[in-house]
Structure 1
């Protein structure tokens, strides 16, 4: 094939910046996802984003908040939160210092928290006079004051890294504290009529529920919004704009197709490949060059270290089932055909170890599906994304 069409000259160039904060104005793709999210939120629903790390959850939220005309968006990052008090003050800070939250709500928050009026006034603290209130009660009063003060557009509260915060609270304060917080959030999503919610995190909620002994009822009002890879036409646009950004208009269409195939149309990996092409500046970029550079990227542990986030949930959350889960993933990664569940018992067993019972194997299968490693087809299980299968197989030194 020849070079990309001259129509691409109308595209805005983008510089590759894998892993860095990105300009929401340079966001590419997810049009169908964004339209669906808007419909759900407008009708009063709430969303959960649970894709693995590096799938673009935070960037999509940034883009949605920057472009929505239907809501007043408030973004809250709960990374590093380890107690229920921290969860409450992090929430109050974001709401109380937002310039589009009504003054009536801010006055209520000033009565509950110190240093909430101005940025730079110091850390947000719960006022001594209300310390007798439990964190769940304070959280409810905080959120309801905002909801009750809305007179125009609904407020959209986007909570990032909530599952990790709940796990931290479980470890530090116990399962009951975490359960109470989850139930309070569930009740607020029901009662705060003028607020919509997007709950995001790189830890699957199924792990959170298991660790804090909660139930599906605490999250079953959330509609899952999967991101996954880009649609092919959107991946093509991203690649073309990145190539314009690195001033490589000489790339052939078949090389672009190969880059999308190699990366599985995952934006993070596309960004990495564009960065490699810019750094190494090969004289010619054809499909063979793309394959060679991508293979080198995967083999270089330092260069591709960040991609391990895409396949890292097993070691973090599977406990005593880490080894059998890895063995099952190895078997599926190396099989040319879907693997039936009945084969899991053989795949999972380690030399000299007792076989797992059916209940344990069913749990592992469910976790691997919910963690986006594998998917179930009519004849068995396969890896959900072939590019992640390749990364896993290389890291584990297994192959077809």
Structure 2
């Protein structure tokens, strides 16, 4: 499949994608429906689907890089707009493929942005090929959106040679856990009590292979069907060679990854919203009720019009946030928060409206909307809940 543009940072026209990007998105949707959806349907809910990951990593029929290689281009970090278009396009046809691709990005982008050459050489080729599964372990049972409240302890482990620590504690609601092959773990190297207001500044990011002694976990059964679980650290050994970035600088590493991925969470939501809207339009145009198609009823027509308007607004805000990130704009945090906020809330409303228009049939197991109804809820919580996004936006408004 041809890549969207030769340059590393494709940019949209002011209010629309150029024809080349539109064709690329159509090709992505066709690929998802033809090759990826059958693999997703054959997988087990709540488990890592390795055949699907291998397909995401496989080169295209025309020899072009695979989709994961486009998330991790050899030339440097991915364009935020490219990431958004990938996620939106895949989500319209196969949410499982979209989520598998996104989780590889979230788990491994700290390695791209802050890893050593050795860490990159060891793991990124395996991630690109869909052979190594990555996880991003930030959330804890008592620390979700408040990253400064992290309690997973990195306790100094004295002795000769490089600096060493032992990780002790628990991470919970971690995507791809416990099946990931390596985990980006955020742990507290400076206890809050040791440094007034240490908070997030006392957190360090570590790259931890899954075979380290003392690292265990278990899957969780969740509303959303993608793999998610708990990780337990019982004195897991790590050294300076496992640090991503700087000691006590892990919060910056986490935020650098989240600022890239937050607009693309919005793109995922837009893809689901568009799929729901397409289904509602098709059903309302064919379903006869009260002497004519449902679409002739003003209440249904107005719901469709309102939904379409909100989906388009969310899409434009996502593209604007991604373009701002690619341009190095100073207000990326505000734009990314706005994009995630509007898109995820819009997607929830769009799926709910589509279910209402379809009626009981949309609640049958296996129906597209039943699937979307389960998938659409989680993005309003992960990578910063809706309320956190509003707080970020308000803080940035006052900063300006």
Global fold match (TM > 0.5): no
**In proportion to residue count, which structure has more strand?**
2
> What TM-score, normalized by structure 1, do the two folds share?
0.30
> What TM-score, normalized by structure 2, do the two folds share?
0.30
Q: Return the structure number with greater relative CO, CA threshold 8 A, min gap 6.
A: 1
